[in-house]
């Protein structure tokens, strides 16, 4: 695996570790409580729905890469958990799935300038592998921030 790919994986792992640090002490009640009653996005109503979405998306990014390099794979079905520990385990498993993809294909070209050789994703963007991994990292960071806000709101509700 080249240094650029390893750097991306290191940053991905760092973002996941930061997320796990934020969520590790969440109670079952906090996990499942609907915090955003106004959103139309069903993936962003509670910490539980956010984590389910983050894990499903993480697998999707790797599956996009696998399809791009010619491997037929299917994203695991999203799983909803009632406690935090299975989410932590699932985040780590999601990351390991991604690492195994790159270990199995250490010479994959991650930077591509030709638009015809980009990955087309369902939300209409085109990415090379490097850009898709950068998106995956920022996706974790954005939802970590959202969960931090939810935790703050939940703590305010207890006052």
Angle between helices 3-23 and 129-158 in degrees, nearest 10: 10
What total number of domains does the chain contain?
A: 1
The span from the CA of 151 to the CA of 105, in Å, is: 39
- The answer, yes or no, to whether residue 157 has pLDDT greater than 80, is no
- Does residue 132 contact residue 65 with C-beta atoms inside 8 Å? yes
Q: What does the pLDDT look like over 88-143, one tens digit per residue? A: 999 999 999 999 999 999 999 999 999 989 999 999 999 999 999 999 999 999 99
Name the pLDDT band for 17 (thresholds 50, 70, 90). Answer: very high
Q: Domain containing 36: what range?
A: 3-158
DSSP 1-55: --HHHHHHHHHHHHHHHHHHHHHTT--HHHHHS---SS-S-GGGSSHHHHHHHHH
- Does residue 12 contact residue 136 with C-beta atoms inside 8 Å? yes
Which domain CATH number covers 23?
1.20.120.450
Q: What does the pLDDT look like over 62-97, one tens digit per residue? A: 999 999 999 999 999 999 999 999 999 999 999 999
């Amino acid at each position: 695996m080249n240094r650029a790919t390893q750097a991306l994986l290191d940053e991905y792992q760092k973002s996941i570790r930061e997320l796990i640090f934020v969520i590790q002490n969440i109670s079952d009640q906090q996990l499942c409580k609907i915090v955003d009653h106004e959103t139309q996005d069903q993936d962003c109503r509670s910490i539980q729905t956010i984590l389910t979405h983050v894990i499903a998306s993480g697998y999707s990014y790797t599956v996009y890469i696998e399809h791009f390099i010619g491997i037929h794979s299917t994203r695991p079905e999203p799983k909803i958990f009632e406690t935090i520990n299975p989410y932590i385990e699932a985040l780590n498993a999601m990351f390991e799935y991604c690492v195994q993809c790159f270990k199995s294909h250490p010479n994959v070209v991650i930077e591509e300038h030709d638009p015809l050789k980009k990955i087309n994703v369902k939300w209409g963007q085109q990415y090379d592998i490097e850009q898709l991994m950068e998106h995956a990292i920022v996706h974790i960071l954005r939802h970590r921030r959202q969960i931090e806000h939810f935790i703050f709101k939940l703590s305010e509700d207890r006052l």
